[in-house]
């Protein structure tokens, strides 16, 4: 791997540490009675309200339609995700440190799988919350389910729900994109090296020299 | 004696002129554009739906005993804060937590006459922390927390009778003052009224305000001659350290004061050097006098703690030379107002034909030069000519109060000629006048009694409305009128009816308090001993004939909502904790036959109402504040069995 690639990978991997602070996803709700809005923030290790009472308020409102309470402690994935994030950081740093393309590809694969699995899991929980309703709920609208959109906006009775990646999510996507770009460039470069272009060989030597200096 | 006849004649003439003025304004209403408003008034006061007003205005309710909060310039009523009067809507003075706030040494006094709201100040500028207001009838001062807009403390003032000149504050809210409107035997005693001059005294009271918490304590009282003390204002800037109190009835009449207290050409403003008085008290020159008075305040648990205190430090004027001087001032002065610079002290002599303006510089010089005109009860009387900076000639009839715009202009309310008169502090000439409808008492410029007036509007606070609004039987509202003062000519913008009788008012830019408003109380910080933090903790406990119901509310149900085992004659305490933590979601609680009030419980708060069922049956209770789509379903029952019934206490709390 080129020095610049390794630097990018190292920085991108370290940026993932921000996921421990920044929320991944945001669901914002507004209604005529809630002009100030209510919001949920999905984090790597939990679900919090936008304001200190938002989660409790949303849970309370949801009881009218028979939705289960959102209990972050009862969602096992939220205990797993910090470790997954840690793993992704370690693999990324390993790729940068070793300079081995194989590790880079593994990192990209892990990132893509984690992102896809995360989104699928998010959708699954959303589906469960939105469809698995208490039959004794006060408000029952035939044919109505309350699954929040995975991404985008949707009207849920008097509420308008908007679901979008938050800063952490955007950052994660950016890291995945960076990993993909670096992987593609490194793959092409490797192809060219194999084809024996002298220019590239010189470059490769240069990079090695750079490594020694570093 | 000829003086007295003169005064009486003048009074009669004034009344006749007042009647003529009223008739004139009636005619004026036929004019195009009618009722005195100017062409662009509508756009000036229009606050579009969903938009906020520029200012909060706090108008006293007078005989309502409360404070009303309005938005300006729209004149929209935002809230009525219960202070001295029981309010069944919010259970103020009815709930177990708030009852203690209305305790006095006279027992429970559920009403008062609230006249003068006063914003706390720092450096002579309103700081938006607290609003103080006097209880005139049973002497008290209340303090309202402006982040909650709730009354937090009420302190009784002993030895006073009619706490009118109150609670004007010093420029850093060091003190709130009080002066007795009615002189009485001090200490109280069974005294023939004919001994007024010998036995009756007036007290000026200085109430210390804790700068961090706002908590009030009675610092000291100054014993004064038995006049009627009327209004006050504290000095600021160069005159900081002084407070000025108007007095009338320097005649010391004890009957038919309408005539007998109006004889003297001049009465007095008492100029009190409170820093000097403070020093004398610190030096032990005051004596401890027995007194009983109540201090009530809201604890952290949002529950009134009512203390009965005893003893107060009383300072005789003779024991503290230099603490009090009398400023002779024409004809029964009412208002006394200090301009933003702290130099000018304007007095509103109710029956005077001029507005005298005293100069603080000249007062200081007169004191230094001993330019005295004798003394009254040991208090040096300064020479009028030595202290007066000027007189506003022919200002109108019945000058009462003056406020300032911060641009060198003063505005005085004229009760009899029903107008506001604008005059210059430079040469004391009248610059403009505008009729008000009708019979203005106080007037208010936001911050107009501070060092930093917000000189955009003046609000007239009118006693009489007659034909201004659709008639409502013999009882008509009082009113406020918003007048633009940004130009050379005052312009009437808006006229709105008020709750109670607005005496004085205060206003402050909304930005100073809007963002500090409490939206809900944190349930986790609720320390009410009867609070329950979750439905699982709800329960009903009988102890003899006392039944405690630990109940919660959350949209849209009570827990428990069915209670059996209550008996006729039980004292049932409904302790309602509102589990909501959302903004603007109070729940109410009402039960059939309650002899007190409903409850309105704010999010996170616990309130208790007592119910003594007097008949057998099953009685519903329900939420009174339309809380949610299923508000009508938010209800429950209490089964009441005969006294001595074997029915056990049961209830359906969630397990």
Task: Quote the CA–CA distance of B154 and B306 in Å, as a whole number.
Answer: 9
Tokens of A120: 């699928």
The reply to whether residue A60 touches residue B520, judged by beta carbons under 8 angstroms, is no
* End-to-end CA gap in chain B: 85
**Given A53, A60, A139, which is nearest B555 (Cβ)?**
A60
Q: Residue B396: its pLDDT value, please?
A: 93
Q: What order of strands is seen across the sheet that includes strand B478-484?
A: B440-444, B457-462, B478-484, B491-498
The pLDDT assigned to A197 comes to: 61
Smallest Cα distance from A57 to chain B, Å: 7
Find out whether B401 and B165 touch, Cβ atoms under 8 Å. no
Query: B466 pLDDT exceeds 60?
Result: yes
pLDDT confidence tier of residue B13, bands split at 50, 70 and 90: very low
Q: Give the model's pLDDT for residue B542.
A: 98
At B412 the pLDDT is: 98
Nearest CB among B581, B630, B633 relative to A56 is that of: B581
Residue A159, pLDDT score: 94
Contacts of B630 in chain A (CB under 8 A): 64, 138
Cβ–Cβ under 8 Å, residues B590 and B624? yes
Task: Determine the number of helices (DSSP H) and then strands (DSSP E) in chain B.
Answer: 7, 45
pLDDT bucket at B350, cuts 50 / 70 / 90: confident
> Which residues of chain B have a CB within 8 Å of the CB of A64?
555-556, 629-630
> How confident is the model over B575-591, as a mean pLDDT?
96
Q: Tell me whether residues B520 and A138 touch, CB distance under 8 A.
A: no
Cβ–Cβ below 8 Å for A57 and B629? no
Mutation target vs A (from B51, B581, B628, B654; most A CBs, 10 A cutoff): B581
> For residue B271, is pLDDT > 70?
yes
At B164-174, the pLDDT tens digits run: 999 999 999 99
Task: Decide the pairing of beta strands B388-393 and B354-359.
Answer: antiparallel
Of A36, A138, A139, the CB nearest to B583: A36
Per-residue confidence at B337, pLDDT binned at 50, 70, 90? very high
Phi, psi of B170 (to 5 degrees): -85, 170
CA distance B577 to chain A (A): 16
| Complete edge-to-edge strand list for the sheet that includes strand B562-567 | B599-601, B587-591, B617-622, B635-641, B562-567, B650-651
The CA R_g of chain A, rounded to the nearest whole Å, is: 22
Contact state of A64 with B581 under an 8 Å Cβ cutoff: no
CA distance B474 to B11: 27
Q: Is A53 on the interface with B (CB under 8 A)?
A: yes
Mean pLDDT score across all residues of chain A: 90
Is the omega angle on the peptide bond into residue B294 within 30 degrees of 0, that is, cis? no
Taking the CB of residue B43, how many other CB atoms lie within 10 A of it? 8
Residue closest to B244 by CA, chosen among B160, B161, B327, B162: B327
Q: Report phi then psi at A167, rounded to 5.
A: -55, -45
- Say how many C-beta atoms besides its own lie within 10 A of residue B41's C-beta: 20
Alpha-carbon gap: A158 to the closest alpha carbon of chain B (Å): 11
Q: Is B279 helix (H, G, I), strand (E, B) or coil?
A: helix
Measured distance CA(B206)–CA(B324) in Å, rounded: 14
Chain B CB within 8 Å of residue A57 CB: yes
Give the number of other Cβ atoms within 10 Å of residue B74's Cβ. Answer: 20
- Out of A57, A61, A138, closest to residue B581 by CB: A57
pLDDT of residue B184: 95
Q: Tens digits of per-residue pLDDT, A133-173? A: 999 999 999 989 999 999 999 999 999 999 999 999 999 99
**Nearest residue on chain B to A58, judged by CA atoms?**
B582
Q: What's the mean pLDDT in A81-98? A: 96
% of residues, chain B, pLDDT over 70: 94
Query: pLDDT confidence of A128, banded at 50, 70, 90?
Result: very high
Is pLDDT at B237 greater than 90 in this prediction?
yes
CA-based nearest residue in chain A for residue B522? A53
Give the per-residue pLDDT at B253.
Answer: 84
Nearest CA of chain B to the CA of A169: how many Å? 28
Q: Which of B517, B520, B521, B582 to mutate to test the interface with A (most CBs of A within 10 A)?
A: B582
Among B555, B556, B581, select the one facing A53 at the smallest CB separation.
B581
Minimal-distance CA residue of chain A relative to B519: A53
Would you state the structure tokens that stand for residue B634, as one six-digit string?
A: 């938010």
Interface A:B, Cβ pairs < 8 A: 21
Residues in chain B with CB shorter than 8 Å from the CB of A58 are none
Average pLDDT over residues B431-447: 96
End-to-end CA distance of chain A: 14
- Model confidence pLDDT, tens digit, residues B470-481: 999 999 999 999
pLDDT on residue A212: 40
Across the range B171-189, mean pLDDT stands at 95
Q: Is the minimum CB–CB distance between A60 and chain B shorter than 8 Å?
A: yes
Partners of A57 on chain B (C-beta within 8 Å) are 581-582
Q: Which residue's entry shows tokens 């008020």?
A: B498
CB A25 within 8 A of CB A169: yes
Which of A49, A56, A139, A157 is most worth mutating to test chain B (most B CB atoms within 10 A of its CB)? A56
Q: How close A53 comes to chain B (CA, Å)?
A: 6
- For residue range B594-632, list pLDDT tens digits in order: 999 999 999 999 999 999 999 999 999 999 999 998 999
Reported confidence tier of residue B1, pLDDT bands at 50, 70, 90 = very low
Crossing angle for the helix pair A167-195 and A101-131, to the nearest 10 degrees = 150
pLDDT exceeds 90 at position A210: no
Q: What is the pLDDT of residues B37-86, one digit of tens each?
A: 777 889 999 999 999 999 999 999 999 999 999 999 999 999 999 999 99
Q: Does pLDDT of B29 surpass 90?
A: no
Angle between helices A3-15 and A167-195 (to 10 degrees): 160
Alpha carbon distance B156, B163 (integer Å) = 10
A167-195 and A198-213 are packed helices; what angle lies between their axes, rounded to 10 degrees? Answer: 120
Q: What contacts B491, CB < 8 A, 6 or more positions away?
A: B38, B41, B434, B483, B484
B16 touches chain A (CB under 8 A): no
Sign of CA dihedral B282, B286, B287, B291: negative
| Nearest chain A residue (CA) to B603 | A53
**B residues 580..599 contacting A (CB < 8 A):** 580-583
Residue B18 pLDDT class (50, 70, 90 cuts):
very low
Contacts of A159 in chain B (CB under 8 A): none
CB neighbourhood size of A66 (10 A): 16
As a whole number, the mean pLDDT across chain B is 93
Burial of B257 (0-12, 13-18, 19+ CB in 10 A): middle
Question: Which residue is listed with tokens 């059996």?
Answer: B564
Question: Cβ–Cβ of B581/A61 closer than 8 Å?
Answer: no
**Best CA proximity match to A13, nearest among A166, A176, A137, A149:** A176
Q: How confident is the model at residue B23 (pLDDT cuts 50, 70, 90)?
A: very low
Interface subset of A 29-48, CB within 8 angstroms of B: 36
Which residues from B are below 8 Å from A52, CB to CB? 581
Mean pLDDT of A78-101: 96
Q: What is the pLDDT of residue A201?
A: 54
Judged by DSSP in three states, A81 sits in helix
**Rounded percentage of chain B residues whose pLDDT exceeds 90:** 89
pLDDT score recorded for residue B59:
98
> What residues of chain B lie within 8 A of the CB of A30, using their CB?
none
pLDDT in tens, B113-134: 999 999 999 999 999 999 999 9
Indicate if the pLDDT at residue B304 is higher than 60.
Answer: yes
Q: How confident is the model at residue B226 (pLDDT cuts 50, 70, 90)?
A: very high
Q: Which of residues 625-644 of B touch A (CB under 8 A)?
A: 629-630, 633
> Which parts of chain A fold into alpha helices (H)?
3-15, 54-62, 77-98, 101-131, 167-195, 198-213
Q: Which member of A52, A60, A138 has the closest CB to residue B630?
A: A138
Mean pLDDT (whole number) for B308-322 = 96
CA closest to B633 among chain A residues: A138
Region A6-16: what's the mean pLDDT? 96
In degrees, to the nearest 5, what angle opens at C-alpha B156 toward C-alphas B154 and B157? 135
pLDDT tens profile B512-523: 999 999 999 999
Contact yes or no for B580 and A138 at CB 8 A: no
Q: Does A61 touch chain B (CB under 8 A)?
A: yes
Name the minimum distance, in Å, from the CA of B119 to any CA of chain A. 30
Question: Is the pLDDT confidence value at B314 over 70?
Answer: yes
Q: Please give the pLDDT value at position A196.
A: 77
- ipTM for the predicted complex comes to 0.78
How many other β-carbons are positioned within 10 Å of the β-carbon of residue B79? 13
Cβ contacts of B272 within 8 Å, gap of 6 or more = B204, B222, B242, B243, B244, B245, B323, B324
CB atoms within 10 A of CB B354: 18
């Amino acid at each position: 791997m080129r020095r610049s690639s390794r630097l990018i990978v190292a920085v991108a991997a370290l940026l993932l540490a921000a996921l421990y602070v920044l929320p991944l996803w945001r669901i914002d709700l507004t209604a005529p009675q809630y002009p100030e809005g209510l919001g949920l923030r999905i984090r790597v290790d939990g679900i919090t309200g936008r304001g200190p009472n938002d989660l409790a308020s949303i849970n309370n409102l949801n009881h009218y339609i028979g939705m289960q309470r959102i209990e972050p402690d009862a969602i096992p994935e939220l205990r797993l995700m910090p470790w997954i994030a840690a793993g992704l950081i370690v693999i990324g740093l390993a790729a940068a440190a070793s300079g081995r393309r194989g590790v880079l590809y593994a990192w990209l694969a892990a990132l893509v799988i984690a992102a896809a699995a995360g989104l699928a899991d998010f959708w699954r929980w959303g589906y469960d919350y939105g469809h698995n309703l208490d039959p004794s709920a006060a408000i029952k609208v035939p044919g109505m389910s309350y699954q929040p959109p995975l991404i985008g906006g949707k009207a849920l009775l008097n509420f308008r729900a908007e679901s979008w990646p938050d800063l952490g999510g955007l950052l994660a996507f950016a890291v995945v994109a960076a990993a993909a770009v670096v992987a593609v460039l490194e793959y092409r470069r490797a192809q060219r090296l194999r084809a024996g272009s002298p220019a590239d060989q010189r470059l490769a030597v240069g990079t090695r020299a750079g490594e020694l200096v570093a | 004696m000829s003086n007295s006849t003169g005064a009486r004649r003048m009074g009669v003439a004034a009344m006749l002129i007042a009647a003529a003025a009223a008739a004139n304004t009636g005619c004026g209403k036929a004019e195009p554009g009618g009722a005195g408003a100017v062409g662009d008034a509508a756009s000036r006061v229009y606050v579009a739906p969903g938009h906020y007003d520029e200012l909060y205005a706090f108008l006293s309710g007078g005989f309502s005993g409360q404070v009303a909060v309005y938005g300006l310039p729209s004149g929209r009523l935002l809230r009525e804060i219960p202070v001295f009067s029981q309010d069944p809507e919010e259970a103020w003075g009815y709930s177990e937590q708030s009852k203690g706030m209305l305790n006095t040494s006279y027992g429970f006094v559920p009403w008062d006459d609230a006249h003068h709201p006063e914003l706390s100040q720092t450096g002579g500028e309103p700081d938006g922390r607290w609003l103080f207001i006097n209880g005139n009838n049973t002497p008290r001062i209340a303090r309202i927390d402006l982040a909650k807009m709730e009354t937090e403390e009420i302190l009784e003032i002993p030895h006073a009778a009619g706490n009118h000149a109150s609670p004007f504050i010093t420029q850093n809210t060091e003190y709130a003052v009080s002066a007795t409107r009615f002189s009485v035997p001090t200490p109280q005693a069974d005294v023939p009224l004919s001994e007024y001059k010998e036995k009756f005294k007036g007290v000026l009271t200085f109430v210390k305000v804790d700068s961090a918490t706002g908590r009030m304590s009675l610092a000291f009282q100054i014993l004064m001659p038995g006049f009627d003390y009327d209004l006050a204002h504290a000095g600021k800037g160069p005159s900081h350290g002084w407070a000025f109190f108007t007095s009338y009835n320097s005649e010391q009449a004890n009957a038919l004061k309408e005539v007998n207290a109006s004889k003297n050409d001049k009465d007095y403003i008492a100029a009190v050097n409170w820093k000097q008085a403070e020093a004398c008290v610190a030096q032990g020159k005051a004596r401890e006098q027995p007194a009983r008075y109540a201090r009530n305040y809201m604890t952290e648990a949002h529950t009134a703690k009512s203390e009965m205190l005893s003893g107060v430090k009383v300072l005789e004027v003779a024991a503290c030379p230099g603490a009090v001087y009398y400023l002779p001032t024409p004809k029964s002065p009412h208002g006394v107002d200090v301009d933003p610079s702290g130099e000018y002290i304007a007095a509103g002599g109710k029956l005077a034909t001029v507005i005298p303006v005293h100069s603080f510089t000249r007062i200081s010089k007169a004191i230094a030069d001993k330019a005295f005109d004798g003394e009254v009860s040991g208090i040096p009387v300064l020479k009028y000519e030595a202290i007066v900076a000027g007189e506003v000639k022919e200002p109108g009839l019945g000058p009462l109060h003056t406020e300032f715009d911060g641009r060198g202009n003063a505005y005085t309310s004229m009760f009899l000629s029903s107008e506001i008169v604008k005059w210059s502090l430079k040469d004391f000439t009248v610059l403009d006048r505008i009729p008000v409808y009708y019979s203005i008492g106080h007037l208010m410029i936001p911050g107009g009694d501070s060092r930093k007036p917000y000189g955009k509007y003046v609000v007239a606070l009118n006693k009489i409305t007659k034909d201004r609004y659709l008639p409502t039987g013999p009882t008509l509202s009082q009113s406020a009128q918003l007048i633009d003062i940004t130009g050379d000519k005052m312009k009437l913008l808006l006229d709105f009816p008020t709750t109670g009788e607005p005496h004085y008012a205060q206003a402050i830019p909304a930005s100073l308090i809007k963002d500090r408003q409490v939206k809900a109380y944190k349930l986790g910080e609720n320390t009410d001993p009867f609070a329950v933090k979750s439905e699982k903790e709800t329960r009903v406990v009988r102890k003899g004939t006392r039944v405690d119901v630990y109940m919660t509310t959350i949209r849209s149900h009570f827990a428990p909502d069915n209670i059996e085992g209550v008996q006729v004659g039980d004292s049932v305490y409904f302790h309602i904790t509102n589990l909501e933590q959302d903004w603007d979601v109070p729940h109410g609680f009402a039960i059939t036959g309650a002899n007190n009030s409903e409850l309105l419980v704010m999010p996170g708060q616990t309130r208790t109402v007592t119910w003594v069922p007097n008949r057998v049956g099953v009685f519903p209770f329900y939420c009174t504040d339309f809380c949610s789509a299923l508000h009508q379903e938010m209800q429950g029952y209490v089964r009441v069995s005969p006294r001595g019934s074997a029915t056990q206490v049961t209830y359906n709390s969630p397990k």
